[in-house]
Amino acid sequence: MDAKLFTLDKNYLLKEAQLQLKIHLLHELVVKVRKTYILEYNPLGLMDEIIHTVLNEQHPRIDCLFNFYFELAGIYRFKYGENQLEFIFEGIPHIEKYKKDWQRFFRKWSGQFCLHKHFLRAILEGTLLNPNPETDHLIEIRLKHFLEQHFGLRIYKYRGIRKIQVA
């Protein structure tokens, strides 16, 4: 882990809260994508091979979504992160408040993302329809591009997050 200069920096606590919620929120996302896909693209309830697979897959493979989750978490910290802890008068620890805030934004954003056909297809292909580890890289690229377009931000591994220059 990184060398911490100040262990009670808000971003360290926020990052820890996001890590603790990763698996839970990604499973929630897959359930939301599944429901949205069924409602939008199969309103009559017709059963074909794809719908059957989407409905009956009990253990979706979410590991292909880890990079997407970390990039979305980084965007959240970029947009809403600060270095100083705030005063919380509710009597709960800071990390619990950050978990609650992160869950609220993740759910809000995932609801917005589910309105886009390309997002739904990428999640379904990676987790339910074709859970093939060889195609994970392609799914990650599609989701990264989606985030860049949605937020107008580009995520660099070593330079951080930058706004996209519109030409």
Report how far residue 157's alpha carbon sits from residue 74's, in angstroms, rounded to the nearest whole number. 11
pLDDT given for residue 99 in this prediction: 93
Q: Which residue has the higher pLDDT, 144 or 6?
A: 144
Distances (CA, A) of 88 to 10, 25, 92, 93: 13, 24, 7, 8
Are the C-beta atoms of residues 37 and 112 closer than 8 Å to each other? no
H/E run at residue 79: helix 66-80
Mean pLDDT for the chain overall: 86
Are the C-beta atoms of residues 99 and 15 closer than 8 Å to each other? no
pLDDT given for residue 139 in this prediction: 93
- How is the chain split into domains, by residue range? 14-80+90-163
* pLDDT tens column, 133-151: 888 899 999 999 999 999 9
* pLDDT tens column, 45-96: 888 888 888 888 888 889 999 999 999 999 998 887 765 566 666 777 778 8
Report how far residue 126's alpha carbon sits from residue 129's, in angstroms, rounded to the nearest whole number. 7
pLDDT given for residue 121 in this prediction: 93
3-class SS of residue 153: strand
Average pLDDT over every residue of 24-34: 96
Q: Which residue has the higher pLDDT, 97 or 82?
A: 97
Q: What percent of the chain has pLDDT over 70?
A: 87
Cα-Cα end-to-end distance for the chain: 38
Q: Report which of 72, 75, 73, 49 is spatially closest to residue 130, judged by C-alpha positions.
A: 49
Residue type, 149: Q
Tokens describing residue 76: 């959240």
Q: Which residue has the higher pLDDT, 138 or 13?
A: 138
Tokens describing residue 85: 């802890």
pLDDT given for residue 119 in this prediction: 96
pLDDT value at 25 more than 70: yes
Q: Which residue has the higher pLDDT, 8 or 109?
A: 109
Q: Are strands 160-163 and 153-156 parallel, antiparallel or unpaired?
A: antiparallel
- Report the predicted TM-score, pTM, of the whole model to 2 decimal places: 0.86
